[in-house]
Amino acid sequence: MKLVTLDEIKAVLPGIDLLTAIETGFVAYSEGRCIVPPVGELLMDGGEVHIKYGSLSDDPFYVIKIASGFPGNPKLGLPSGNGLMLLFSQQTGELVCILLDEGHLTGVRTAVAGAISAKYLAPRPVRRIGIMGTGLQAQLQLKHLTTVIDCREVLAWGRGVEQLRRFRRALEGFGFSLETTLDAAEIGATCNLIVTTTSATEPILRSRDIQSGTHITAIGSDTPHKQELDVGILADADKVVADSKMQCRLRGEIFKALEAGVITENVVVELGHLIGGGAQGRTTDSQVTVFDSTGVAVQDIKIANAVYDAIN
């Protein structure tokens, strides 16, 4: 059994084509070539733990991923996220590898999914990227967007001046022209590619502020009680895309819109069908598109397999 540390994982990630690997996973998921049970989770007063697991028919391993988020940890000098991934042989059930990624691979695979959605749904050209949130996932989303989007003009929204100052420092040297705002409405009014990365439980982005031709990648709402988008955004959108229709019945922005009765499930398509050609992405410059990312185990399976192959 191999034990792989975070430093070893970070050393091999730059050499892996994660975009292609995770695209392949999404296609397999939407084509029904995966076993992905419902998400297991512990929602506690101090934090939350997500357990995602599954297998692909043509992969050597099944994967179990545990990832946690404890928002109060930074005050204790600890990272808010943690976790690991376990790779077991599909033939014998033997534990083959433990990836002690401390939650890093979950962050990366989530950011890659955001980049994939932009590849198929973002307007051309993107004039300005709006980032809502100032944490590590906001940073990762921007960095991975550079693989599919030429735009480097960014407006970041946060809940406080100090959070925005730290965010700016973290992105120094990455080539972005970064401005900041405390006014969430300014994001919708001036950006045509928007990524939301917060743990909000009430909408921070309103339909009245969205421009024609905007794409929105909604990352933060990965439990039933979280919500970043006004349901009117989904009601008015020309295309609503889910990473998993099954999961989005129970969590995320699509869940909130279904619950409010402003959309029906038949308008939702899966990202894997866009990638595989079974559904169309953006077809006109004026369309408003939304991608609801709730995080699917197939992303964990593909990134775990890729890291294992790179290390071996």
Give yes or no for a contact between 214 and 193, defined as CB atoms under 8 angstroms apart.
Answer: yes
Buried residues in 75-112 as b, exposed as e (16+ CB within 10 A): eeeeebbbbbbbbbebeeeeebbebbbbbbbbbbbbbb
- Among 16, 50, 78, smallest CA distance to 8 is for 16
Predicted local confidence at residue 243, as pLDDT: 98
List, in sequence order, the alpha helices (H) in the chain: 6-12, 18-30, 104-121, 136-145, 161-170, 184-190, 231-236, 245-248, 252-260, 271-276, 297-311
CA distances from 98 to 84, 101, 109 (A): 7, 9, 17
**Residue whose structure tokens are 């990638």:** 275
Q: Which 3 state secondary structure label does DSSP give 309?
A: helix
Whether 302 is catalytic: no
- What span, in angstroms and rounded, lies between the C-alpha atoms of 144 and 182? 24
**Cβ contacts of residue 4 below 8 Å, gap of 6+?**
97, 98, 99, 100, 307, 308, 311
Predicted local confidence at residue 24, as pLDDT: 97
- Give Cα 6 distance to the centre of its chain: 20
Structural domains of the chain in order of their starting residue, each with its CATH number: 2-105+298-311 (3.30.1780.10), 123-296 (3.40.50.720)
Q: For residue 58, give the H/E element and its range.
A: none
Predicted local confidence at residue 75, as pLDDT: 85
**Residue whose structure tokens are 């869940």:** 255
Catalytic-labelled residue, pool 2, 10, 52, 65:
65
**Residue whose structure tokens are 């006109």:** 284
Predicted local confidence at residue 79, as pLDDT: 87
- What span, in angstroms and rounded, lies between the C-alpha atoms of 291 and 215? 8
- Mean pLDDT in consecutive groups of 10 residues from the start of the chain, 312 residues: 97 98 97 95 93 94 96 87 96 98 97 98 97 96 96 97 96 95 97 97 97 97 94 98 97 97 97 96 96 97 98 94
Residue type, 77: G
**Residue whose structure tokens are 């970041």:** 156
